Every structure is written in structure tokens, then in C-alpha cells.
Amino acid sequence: MKTDNFDYIELWRQAMVDHTGNIPKRLNDDAAEEAFWSSRVEGKKQHKEDPYAKLVQQELLTLLNQDDHVLEIGPGWGNYTFAIAEEVRKLTCIDSSKSIISFLASQANEKGFENMELIHNKWESETKREKYDVVFGFNCYYRMKEIGHTLLKMNESATRLVIVGMTTGPEKPHYMELKQRGYTINLRKRDYIHILNVLYQLGILADCKIVKLKSKKIYSSYEEMIRDNTTKILDQHYSDHEVKTILDKYVVEKEGKYEYEYPFHATFNVLESKGNLKILVW
């Protein structure tokens, strides 16, 4: 199904460009993507989930059965991987990063998991046509230009459920306030609504439910806080005083450290695979 005015799959591809009109190097260059993940896991001695992941896990695990064989696409450093493996019969993970696969293998061995299979490959390129009870991916779609093909392939590979997960906005509130004041802000161009629109184009209607989350960033110095929270300002020249005044409304100083807590959300698109697909966005 394609509307008269919009091709949502093409809009997804167009939204991959950055504010300069170019596709970021990581999205096109496998070596750059590998270098990014290698640097991220290099300092990780042990697996540790992001703080918000526990709440997402609670929602996710209610959808899984003990006898499921689950495929996880793009697990990253394992925000959901080991929680899933603990609850199901078998977990297969596929990731394009060799560093990620090596890290997860070492952690699986350390934790004593024997029900995990790890595959180093891109999901888009994987030719193995194995069936899984559940196919799951969270925040793994940013490099996938052919998003329609990706979602249909996920559906074809699942016998029971497909779970398409993303974190979503809103953006940090100080950025939104700066935008209202006329600043040029590098806001995200793709969000969960793009996935929903693609699903709609593929003939799939969605029921939406969104889980509220909070993120808390703690900085050891005021200068560190400023540096981290001005990276999305694209204006070459801006008022330091105005930016700091706005940021100060959202940042709390506690015992010499600076805390910035702000809301965001997690979404799940849950597809009952094959035929009449039902999607719930959590």
C-alpha cells in the first residue's frame, strides 16, 4: 500500500542524510562502523546495560516463551541479549561488527550461557533461511537503507512474533527551547514514526503504546556538562550566556557534580508474523 503523496520507504532513505546533505560515514563505510564499535567495547571489561534497559526488558520479556528460539539483530553490547538468553531456549545474535560479536562471546562464556549462537554478518546480507519463533531488533535500523525489505525479511524469518524496537524522543528540552529561540539544532531525522509509516506502506496497520523512560546524565564538571550539551547547535556563533542560562534550568548541582535528567521513550512494534500483522508500539 502506497499513499498518493508519500513513499515512506524513500523518505526513510532521504532522512539518512545529515545537516550537510551527506550520508554520515558510519552509515556507508563498514570500516568506520567497525572502528566505532571497537572503540566503544574496548574499555568494557564486563557487560553492563544502559540504565534505561531494565524497564525495556520488563516489557520485552512478557512477549517471550521459555521454548522460543529468538533471533536478535544488532545486539550492540547486549542491553537485552543476556536477559533474553536467560528466559528462552535458544538465542541467536547477528551483528555486522566483529568487535561486538567477540565481546558478546566473551561475556556469554563468562556468564556461563550455552544457549547462544553468534553470527558475524549484516542482517541485510544474511542468506541463511532459518526460521525463528521470535525475531527482535532494537535501535539497529540506522544503517538499513532498504527498510521495507528489512521489515519483510524479519517477518518471513519469524514463525510467531517480530519485535521492532526503538528509543525515541523528545530531544533534550534545552535544545527544543533553543530551537524556539531561533537556533539551528541538529535534531534527529528518523524516529519510530518513520517505521510505523513504512509498515503502513507495506499494508500493516499499527496500534501504538509508548513506554515513558528517563535518562540521567551526571557530569564531573560544569565545563564537561556544557561541552556535552552544545554538540547539536549548528550555528557557528551563538551566545554562551544564553545557552548556559537555558541549560541551568534543567541541570542540578549535587555535591560538586551536575545532573541532567530528561524524558524519552521506548517503542516496540510487535508483529504477529505472517498474514494479518498486528503491531503494538510499546
66-121 pLDDT, tens digit per residue, is 999 999 999 998 999 999 999 999 999 999 999 999 999 999 999 999 999 999 99
Answer yes or no: is pLDDT of 3 > 80.
no
Query: What average pLDDT score do residues 115-131 get?
Result: 91
Between 272 and 117, residue with greater pLDDT? 117
Count helices and strands (H / E) in the chain: 11, 10
Q: Residue 281: is its pLDDT beyond 60?
A: no
Taking all residues of the chain, what is their mean pLDDT, rounded to a whole number? 90
What is the pLDDT at residue 273? 60
Per-residue pLDDT reduced to its tens digit, 173-224: 999 999 999 999 999 999 988 998 998 898 877 666 788 999 999 999 999 9
| Exposure class string for 109-119: b at 16+ Cβ within 10 A, else e | eeeebeebebe
**Does the pLDDT at position 252 exceed 90?**
yes
pLDDT of amino acid 200: 86
Q: How confident is the model at residue 274 (pLDDT cuts 50, 70, 90)?
A: low
Q: Which residues contact 10 (CB under 8 A, 6 or more apart)?
A: none
Q: Which CATH number fits domain 8-170+188-214+264-281: 3.60.15.10, 3.30.530.20, 3.40.50.150, 3.40.50.2300?
A: 3.40.50.150
Bigger pLDDT: 276 vs 261: 261
Dihedral (CA of 90, 91, 94, 97) sign? negative
Residue 261's pLDDT band (cuts 50, 70, 90): very high
Mean pLDDT of the 249-269 span: 94
CA distance linking residue 229 with residue 156, whole number of Å: 42
* pLDDT reported for residue 207: 63
Q: What is the mean pLDDT of residues 28-53?
A: 88
pLDDT for 204 equals 75
User: 280 falls in which pLDDT band (50, 70, 90)?
Assistant: very low
* Distance from the Cα of residue 87 to its chain's centroid: 22
**pLDDT at res. 51:** 86
For the cut 60, the answer to whether the pLDDT of residue 140 exceeds it is yes
pLDDT at 275 over 60: no
Burial of 7 (0-12, 13-18, 19+ CB in 10 A): middle
Determine phi and psi for 28, rounding to 5 degrees. Answer: -110, -25
